[in-house]
Structure formats: structure tokens, C-alpha cells
Amino acid sequence: MNKLLLTAYGFSTATIKAAAQKMIRENEVKKACIISTSWPNEKETHPQMQQIRNDLINMEVPQVDFLDVEFEDAEKLFNYDLIFLNGGYPFYLLHFIKKSGADKILTKIHQNGGLIFGLSAGSVVMGPSISLMQYLYPKDNHFQDTDLTGLNLTDLQIYPHFEEMLTRDATIKEKIVEYENKTGISITRLNNNQALEIDNATIILLGTH
């Protein structure tokens, strides 16, 4: 089994939470690790990090730890049954995932059947590329990285918080369509009440359109 759970906003609905619990139970998860790198300053103290930790504990995962691959040994990821890539800044997250070698480690974990969950930026970096983020938010690429290749754990490229972001920038809808037309790449738009459960080639949309 090569199972992923790509969420826009974590365990935001009963349906998403039930799917996550089922995956955790079926894979007999005893130890989970939340990668906290995506928030450069707050790290694991960010409320979102603590919320996910509490959610996993409430799902009866006995041990939930944080790991910051910017400063800590990414090899420690091999010690866990579930890896959670949290939200934040996708450029920052992907930069240090690659710099630390965590990209290769996560690929091995995935190939060996380990569970990997993502939230927002964490879900974005699981795809083949974060080039859409470069197209929409070039100023966020503080390291000026030119290699925007993602982890390639899925062929899907997602854009999280779609409806929410439309309330902040009404042009987002047109910009994404423009990107799709220019590149020929289809973008999967996820709202905050949606997630994708991926089991090899089987993809299930959790939540309403």
C-alpha cells in the first residue's frame, strides 16, 4: 500500500477525520512525526502544529513527535509509522526537505508503504512540482530556488483553500486557469472542507465540491 492523505486544512470535517482514523488503524500506527519546518519562526509552537498533534493523540496515536528538518537529522523519519507534512510556506518547506535529504527519505518511506499526510503546503510539496506557487506567489521564493520539483509522491498538483483564497483575491480563479492553459497541467482545487485519499492509483475526494 502507498497511501497518502492530502488535506487543505487538516482534519477539518468528520469525513476527513474518519478516513484518517481508518488509515491509522489499518496501518497500526504507533508513532507519528509532524514535520514542523514549514513555519520558519514558530515551528512546533505554531497553533496549527499543536492542533494536529492534539488531533493525532485523540485518534489514539500513542506517540506524536515534532521534527524540524532544517536543524534536525532527517534520518529520524525512518523511526515513524506516519509522517505529517504540516502547512505553512511551501517554498521554505521544500527547500529544507531537499537540503536535508528528507526528500529521498520520504520517497523510501512511501515506497515501503508508510503513511504520509499533508496539510496545505505539506500537500502541495507532495506533488510533482510547486511551479504553480512560483507562478502565483514568486515573492515567497525567498531562496530564489529554481528547482521547483516536488516530492513526486503523487501526480496531482493541488491548490489548497481555493474558495477561501477567492475571498482574498478574486483574480486567483483566472490566474490558475491561465497557468493551466500555459502549461497544460491540470490543477486540483481543494477547499478547506476537502481532502484527497490516495491509495496507489485510487483517488477518493473527501468532502463536497
Q: 41 CB contacts (<8 Å, ≥6 apart)?
A: none
Give the percent of the chain with pLDDT over 90. 97
The per-residue pLDDT for 3 is 93
| CB-CB contact of 204 with 197 (8 Å) | yes
| CB-CB contact of 56 with 10 (8 Å) | no
Closest CA to 125 of 99, 89, 71: 89
Q: Tens digit of pLDDT for each residue in 155-191?
A: 999 999 999 999 999 999 999 999 999 999 999 999 9
Element (H, E) at 138: none
Q: 50 CB contacts (<8 Å, ≥6 apart)?
A: 44
Q: Is the pLDDT of residue 12 over 90?
A: yes
Q: Tens digit of pLDDT for each residue in 23-58?
A: 999 999 999 999 999 999 999 999 999 999 999 999
Q: Is the pLDDT of residue 1 over 90?
A: no
3-class SS at 16? Answer: helix
Q: Is the pLDDT of residue 209 over 90?
A: no
Compute the average pLDDT of residues 56-68. 97
How crowded is the C-beta side of 76, counted as CA atoms within 13 Å?
A: 16
Pairing of strands 31-35, 63-67: parallel
Pairing of strands 195-199, 3-7: antiparallel
Phi-psi region of 154 (alpha: psi -120 to 50; beta: other; left: phi over 0): beta
Domains in the chain and their CATH numbers?
3-206 (3.40.50.880)
Cα maximum dimension of the chain: 47
